[in-house]
Amino acid sequence: MNRILNAKKIICAVLFVIMAAAAPVDAKAEAHPFSFTVKQIYSASSYWPDETFVYILKPLAPDNPMPSESAEYTFTITGTGGVEIGPMRGERPGVYRYEIFQVIKTEQPDFIYDKRVYTVEVYADTGLNINIVVTNEDGTKADAIVFENGRKGSPGGINAESQIEKVVYGSPGRNSVFTFRLSARTVSQPMPAGSVNGVKMVHIIGPGQVSFGSWSYDKAGIYYYDVYEQNTGENGYTYDTAVYTITDTVKEENGRLTVSRVITRDSNRLVAGIVFFNIYRPAEDRTDPSPTPAPAATPAPVYPPLPPDPVSTPDPPDPPGIVGAYEPDPPPGVDGPKTGDDSNAVFDITLFILGGLLVFGAAAYLLTGGKRKRDGN
């Protein structure tokens, strides 16, 4: 496809040159001045100063009009901006072809370079009227000559940035202004431009998004920031009271700094971003709230069934040789000694001892008396 386009362009150019050469030039025709506008877009952190880049306008034929006497025209662009190359004057009908490209002598590792080559074709008719066509390297038409350069990172380290989103529920009649605060845990921590004593304030009108800006780390460490919404007392709004914590962990790896970020809501729940929710209620809802429905009856609690009563077992009998450890129930109609009635127990023991002495004495008497009778005989 590109070959077909290029062939068509060559044929058109040849026909244009033949026609221009065959047709007599109007003696009254004057050369019309022409120029090129070259733009540059430079993307870098605000910590970096604007860089200057070098470009060349190169004619593809030795007799092409040039803005200077040199064979190639060199110019520079600093930061984001543009330069007009010219004016140049076409003294004869024909096609003047040029190339415009950037000169990169030594590539820096943190820079982003635009290496495109633009082709500019200037057509001058018999009246020396000018028509300019700009094409890209693939032969497609370009609307403008634009180079995009940039620089990554920031002086001494890396960049960090924080963005928040505001969501409003309800239908307020107008958008209100909401205020948000980024606060460093330590005043000496890096902060975005516009901060005062470790605090940066931003505002959102109605729902939307806003950024606190970017800041740069130049040494390893752990950095903490808190983000929350200030209650400015807008009528009808319920404010989000959440507090987000940004934890940036900066490490040095192979001589370069890297940063990893964790965001938590209310100090414990991991989140992907910072979003605040506000609720708006109209005046009629605030002054005459709808009745609160009665709470539903609480069902009676259901308890598990109780376990069965344990089976009672009789007390074991006293071991042999131990007296008084177990007292059986007295027979019906007989009241045994009650617990603590020591007087009856002593009386019974005394009678038992006396009875034993009497029996022993009677037995001894009978034995000695019988012996005397036998001896007397």
Task: For 362-375, write each residue's pLDDT tens digit.
Answer: 666 666 665 555 55
Q: Pick the residue with more confidence: 119 or 112?
A: 119
Q: What is the pLDDT of residue 9?
A: 58
In a domain, 45, yes or no: yes
pTM of the complete model:
0.40
> What is the rounded average pLDDT of the residues 102-121?
92
**For the chain, what is the radius of gyration of the CA atoms?**
55
Residues 144 and 10 in one domain: yes
Domain annotation covers residue 94: yes
State the distance between the two ends of the chain, measured CA to CA, in whole angstroms: 172
Confidence check: pLDDT of 262 > 80:
yes
Q: Flag whether pLDDT at 91 surpasses 80.
A: yes
Higher pLDDT pick, 317 / 79: 79
In this prediction, residue 72 carries a pLDDT of 93
Q: What is the pLDDT of residues 314-358, one digit of tens each?
A: 555 554 444 444 444 444 444 444 444 455 555 666 667 777 777
218-233 exposure pattern, b = at least 16 Cβ within 10 A, e = fewer: eeeeebebebbbeeee
Give me the phi and psi of 191, to 5 degrees please. Answer: -140, 155
Quick one: 218 and 115 in the same domain?
Answer: no
Q: Is the pLDDT of residue 51 over 70?
A: yes
Where helices occur in 292-333 by DSSP H, the ranges are none
How many structural domains comprise the chain?
2
165 and 240 co-located in one domain: yes
Predicted local distance difference test score (pLDDT) of residue 299: 47
* pLDDT of residue 4 exceeding 60: no
Mean pLDDT of the chain: 78
Residue 367 lies in a domain: no
* Backbone CA torsion sign across 82, 152, 154, 185: positive
**Looking at residue 265, what is its pLDDT?**
93
What's the CATH code of the domain at 45? 2.60.40.3050
What is the SS3 assignment for 285? helix
In a domain, 271, yes or no: yes
Indicate whether 10 belongs to any domain: yes
Nearest of 158, 92, 82, 95 to residue 123 by alpha carbon: 95
Question: 23 pLDDT exceeds 90?
Answer: no
Q: Are residues 110 and 209 in the same domain?
A: no
In sign, the C-alpha dihedral spanning 185, 189, 191, 194 is positive
174/278 same-domain check: yes
Q: What percent of the chain has pLDDT over 70?
A: 67
What's the pLDDT at 357? 74
Q: Residue 186: give the domain boundaries.
A: 158-286
In this structure, the answer to whether residues 143 and 11 fall within a common structural domain is: yes
Q: Give the three-class secondary structure for 77.
A: strand
Q: Is residue 307 part of a domain?
A: no
Could you tell me the maximum CA-CA distance found in the chain, to the nearest angstrom? 206
Q: Examine the domain organization and report whether 162 and 278 are in the same domain.
A: yes
Pick the last residue of a domain from 239, 269, 286: 286
Q: Do 105 and 187 belong to one domain?
A: no
Q: Does residue 242 sit within a domain?
A: yes
On the question of pLDDT at 38 being above 80, the answer is yes
In terms of domains, do 133 and 162 share one?
Answer: no
Q: What is the pLDDT of residue 288?
A: 46
Instruction: Compare 303 and 90 and report the one with higher pLDDT.
Output: 90
Domain boundary pick from 266, 286, 306:
286
Q: Considering only CA atoms, which of 153, 123, 124, 119 is closest in space to residue 139?
A: 119
> For a pLDDT cut of 90, what percent of the chain falls above it?
46
- Nearest partner of 236 among 287, 275, 292, 188, judged by Cα: 287
Domain boundary pick from 122, 151, 180: 151
Question: How many CA atoms within 13 Å lie on the side-chain side of 19?
Answer: 12
295 is a domain residue: no
Instruction: State pLDDT tens for residues 149-208.
Output: 998 765 556 778 888 999 998 888 889 999 999 999 999 999 999 999 999 999 999 999
Closest to 216 in 3D by CA, of 154, 278, 131: 154
Query: Is residue 254 over pLDDT 80?
Result: no
